[in-house]
Amino acid sequence: MHAGRPPLDREQLIQLGFLEARARVLDVAAFLDRVQRAAPAAGASMDALQDDRVRAILDAMKLTLDGQPERARRLLDLWSDHSTEPVPHADGKAARGVPRQA
């Protein structure tokens, strides 16, 4: 909280953040449309919706709509790698942005 400044009320927050949030939701929808329309990579047989990264976005959307508090914290937890054992070599998981599904 800013010292000496009262927090914004709900209407002010909506007024300030709506257009940016709306644009981000539209970006996600457009991304999913492009992924769905794109041809699969050479030799790939997997449906785009089975890709861990795409599944992570779809799972995040469900979490966002569940009506429960602390969405941002829970979303970061969902996308976090909770493993504690070191791996013998890097498998690119860090660059993926989400842990691989088992």
CA distance linking residue 83 with residue 64, whole number of Å: 24
Look up the pTM and report it: 0.75
Q: Cβ distance 40 to 46 under 8 Å? A: yes
pLDDT range class, residue 3, cuts 50, 70, 90: low
Q: Where are the domains of the chain?
A: 9-38, 48-81+92-102
Buried b (16+ CB within 10 A) or exposed e, 54-91: bebbeebeeeeeeeeeeeeeebeeeeeeeeeeeeeeee
- In this predicted model, what pLDDT tens digit does every residue of 9-54 receive, in sequence order? 999 999 999 999 999 999 999 999 999 898 888 877 777 778 888 9
